[in-house]
Structure 1
C-alpha cells in the first residue's frame, strides 16, 4: 500500500520545485491561520484578523498546485514557462507573507496610506508583486495557447480557456483600487488609519458579510468577480474531468471533439458569469440579493448555455483528421 501511495506522491514532489515549495509554505500558513482563527479573537474591519491569511493560503495553494501540474505536461517553451512559474511562486509567496505579517500586527495589508517607511515599502512590494503575478500568468497563457498541452482535446481546451479566465479575474482585481473610495478604519489596537480604497461598492468596508468570504451582503463587492475569474482555471479543469467521467456512461461524450466543444461553451458561459457578477457589484448590489434585472440577465445566460450545449450534443462530429 505504501508503494502504491508513494509513487503518485513522488511524482507530485517532482513537479515544478519553486511552485511546490510555495504550496508547502501555504499549507503551513493554513495551519497557522486556522490556529489563529481559533485562539486569536482580534477583529479587523468586522472580520477575524487571521481570515485573510487563511483565504490567501487556500487560494495560493490551489492555484500553485494547478500550475505545477500543468507544467508537468509535455509542452514547448519549458524554460520560459518554468521561469514564469518561478516568478509566480516567489511573488505569490511574498504577497501572502505580507498579508500574514500585517494580520499578526493587527493592521491592514491592502490600501494602507501610512507614512511609516516600513508600511510604505510593504505596500509598494505588495502592489508590484500583484502586477507580476498577473503578467506571469498572462505570458504563460500566451505561450500555451499556441500548442496542444494534453492528449485529450477537452482537457487541452480547458487549460487554454481556464488560464485566460484566470488572467481576466486577476485583471479585475485592479478595479478594486480604481472603483473603491478612500476611508478610515481602526487597527486592532484602536489606531485610526487612512485607507486609499475598499472592496465594497455603495457601502463602507467592514459591514455585514457572507460567512468565510466576508463578501458584502449590503452592497456590491468587487472581490466576487476577482475570485470567480481567478479560479476559472480550476472550474474549467473540473468540467473537463467530469465530462471524461461521464463519457463512460454516455456514448455521445466519448468523442473528445464533442467534449472540447462543450468546454468552449462552458468557458463562454463562465465568461458571461464573470461579466454578470462584475456588473452586479459595480451597481452596488450584493451577490445574494440580485434585483429583477440581474435575475433576467442570469436567466438569459443560462438559456443561451442550454441551447449551445444542446446544439453541440445534437451535432455529430465529422471524421477525426488528427494524425
Structure 2
C-alpha cells in the first residue's frame, strides 16, 4: 500500500498548490474548468492505483492482464489531457497584463508551472518505454519509500523533482520577494536555472543507467 499512500500525498500537495497558485490567474472561469478536470483525473488515477494494489496487480506498465492494461491506458490519456490543460493556463498566466503580486513572485509561479509541464511529460516517456528503469527490470532493490532503484538508472527521480518545481520554485520566489531587494527577479532566474540543471543531471544520470544513489 506504499504506492497508493505516496500518490494520495502527492495529489494532496498538488491540489493545494494549484488552488493557491491559480488564484492569481485572471481567467477564473478557465481555472474553474481546469479544477473540475483535475479533480476527475486525480480521483481516477488514485482509484486505479488503490484498486490494483488491493488486487495485487500493477497499476503502471501493466501488460500482463487486459483490464490492467486498459485502466493504465486510460490513465495515460487523462494525464496528458490534464498536463496540456496546465500548459494552457500557464501560458494565460504568463500573458497577463498585470498581477496582484510582486514581479519576482509571479515570475517564480510562471517558471514553476512551465517546469511542471515539461517534466510531467517524462511520465509519457516512461509509458512509451514501458518502464521507469534503464538497465534492469522493475521490482528490484530500491531506496526506502520512494523505491528509486539503487542498481540502475531510474527516470522517476527526474520526474519527481521536475513536477515538484510547482512548489519549490514559487516557494523560493515568495521568500525572496519578502526580502524587498531590487535583484529579486535575478535571484529567481538563477535559482530556476540551477534547479533545472539539477533535474537535467538526474535525467541524464538515469538515461545512462546510473542510479541516483547507490
- Rg bigger for which structure? 1
Q: For the residues of structure 1 that align with 2:69 and 2:62, how far apart are their CA atoms?
A: 8
- Name 2:206's counterpart in structure 1: 281
- Name 1:137's counterpart in structure 2: 86
Per the TM alignment, residue 115 of structure 1 is displaced from its structure 2 partner at its CA by 4.6
For the pair 1:51 / 2:10, whether they are aligned, the reply is: no
Q: 2:38 aligns with which of 78, 81, 88?
A: 88
Q: 2:109 aligns with which of 135, 156, 159?
A: 159
Q: For the residues of structure 2 that align with 1:120 and 1:165, how far apart are their CA atoms?
A: 29
Q: For the residues of structure 2 that align with 1:238 and 1:164, how far apart are their CA atoms?
A: 15
The 8 Å contact of residues 105 and 177 in structure 2, kept in 1 or not, is answered as no
- Name 1:16's counterpart in structure 2: none
For the pair 1:178 / 2:128, whether they are aligned, the reply is: yes
Structure showing greater relative contact order (alpha-carbon pairs closer than 8 Å, 6 or more residues apart) = 2
The 8 Å contact of residues 48 and 71 in structure 2, kept in 1 or not, is answered as yes
| TM-score (norm. length: structure 2) | 0.92
Q: 1:119 aligns with which of 58, 68, 71?
A: 68
The 8 Å contact of residues 63 and 69 in structure 2, kept in 1 or not, is answered as yes
Q: For the residues of structure 1 that align with 2:7 and 2:176, how far apart are their CA atoms?
A: 30
- Name 1:217's counterpart in structure 2: 150
For structure 1, which runs of at least 5 residues remain unmatched after alignment?
1-49, 180-196, 248-253, 290-323
Q: Secondary structure at the match of 2:121?
A: helix
- Name 1:3's counterpart in structure 2: none
Q: For the residues of structure 2 that align with 1:122 and 1:87, how far apart are their CA atoms?
A: 18
Q: Deviations over 1:244-288 (max 9, x none)?
A: 45x2xxxxxx23x41122111111111111211110000000112
Q: Secondary structure at the match of 2:137?
A: coil
* Larger helix share, 1 or 2: 2
With over 3 angstroms needed to count, the CA separation of the structure-2 counterparts of 1:260 and 1:133, relative to structure 1, is same
The 8 Å contact of residues 159 and 237 in structure 1, kept in 2 or not, is answered as yes
The 8 Å contact of residues 199 and 205 in structure 1, kept in 2 or not, is answered as yes
Q: Secondary structure at the match of 2:183?
A: helix
The 8 Å contact of residues 102 and 177 in structure 2, kept in 1 or not, is answered as no
- Name 2:52's counterpart in structure 1: 102
After superposing on structure 2, the runs of 4+ consecutive aligned residues of structure 1 that deviate more than 4 Å are: none
For the pair 1:68 / 2:1, whether they are aligned, the reply is: no
